[in-house]
Homo-oligomer: A and B are copies of this chain.
Amino acid sequence: MALLVQKYGGTSVGTVERIEAVADRVLKHKRQGDDIVVVVSAMSGETNRLIELAKNIQAAPDTREMDVLLSTGEQVTIALLSMALLKRGLDARSYTGSQVRITTDNAHGKARIQKIDTEAMRADIDAGRVIVVAGFQGADELGNITTLGRGGSDTTGVALAAALKADECQIYTDVDGVYTTDPRVVDSARRMDKITFEEMLEMASLGSKVLQIRAVEFAGKYQVPLRVLSSFSEGEGTLITTEENENMEQPAVSGIAFNRNEAKLTLKGVPDTPGIAARILGPISDANIEVDMIVQNVSADGTTDFTFTVDRNDHDKALSILKGIEGELGARTVMSDAKIAKVSIVGVGMRSHAGVASSMFRALAKESINIQLISTSEIKVSVIIGEKYLELAVRALHSAFKLSDSAAGVSEE
């Protein structure tokens, strides 16, 4: 008898029929003897509907009130799912984030969970009750409603699983697992049975939108086994664990991630003096713009070129900040390009395989794709290329690293 936390996303509860299907699935697991805590998102479309209402009043509404508004989305779902479970003869009870005592800081719209009081939940579980919790939300110490930010229902699921020491946190979504790359781009993309937290983190942050990155971090930190699976079909999904794959030769590259929502900005000819990076990025971070890649090359003639990427929505704001400071920094010029894409190869096996990066560059060169920027970590290599080459690059890399076969490995040309 296992304790499972099951999280169902917006499309999995998008209609009353879908909610009934979720109830059937919970019933099946319950009958198998498992204890179930369910975490749900707002019905798909609902969050956008609420945002639209608020935007009709003000472009940037008060963040406290925005949380009061958005938290209703999940509240609707917990009530409807509990009704569907009760109809099936299960003892079920819904809880909002504040009712179940998910205490967060007061950073409205992007609150972080500080503690979860599990006592009441334990009593419910011991009584055989299915608990249905609203994802994405909590309350601060004063009782103000907070939200964890978009996609935060995954984080709720993992946090509950960690607090309750659940055997597994199952994330039900509209895909049946984590793929070697986006199947819409590469037909032969393959579902992975297992992936490590580190790999998943790189996949998630690079644009494989299966799981929210904070949830993966959380799961890794608290060693909560995380499984991604489809609420629309049966199947084992993809298990995300700390264990690396021991049963076969570790492939060097597990998957290809990409992101087409970035923009690139460059300050050319800035004096190569200590502290210059901080003086460039300080104003950017003060404006709440998140920076992804940062590349600074070796200096020539006492000046250097400094390049970074931001979310494409922040491009205009970042550019005007750079224009404002280029004079005082003594830069030669500011350049930017929003028509770029990032492609990354990810794999824990890279650590023990030499030559993975050069295999990547060779595969791209063969397709005459120019690499604009390169950035590496222990388990990934990312490049920035022209946006129009994205699909070509992903397919070339997927094939070069033989990811379609289950015995994936480094390509040997």
Contact = CB atoms under 8 A, between A and B. Distances in A.
A65 interface: yes
A358 interface: no
Contact of A94 (B56, B68, B87): B68
Interface residues on A, range: 35 or more
A278 to B, nearest CB: 35
Interface string A75-103: 11011101110110000011010010000
Given A62-B86, A86-B62, A54 B79 contact: yes
A297 B412 CA distance: 103
B80 A54 contact: yes
B56 A16 contact: yes
Contacts of A300: none
B62 A82 contact: yes
A93 B68 CA distance: 10
A94 B78 CA distance: 22
A58 interface: yes
A382 B83 CA distance: 42
A211 interface: no
A65 B50 contact: no
A53 interface: yes
A48 B20 CA distance: 20
A59 to B, nearest CB: 10
Contacts of A78: 68
A77 to B, nearest CB: 9
Contact of A19 (B20, B57, B68, B71): B57
A72 interface: yes
B75 A68 contact: yes
B83 A65 contact: yes
Interface of A: 16, 19-20, 50, 53-54, 56-58, 61-62, 64-66, 68-69, 71-72, 75-76, 78-80, 82-84, 86-87, 93-94, 96, 99, 143-145
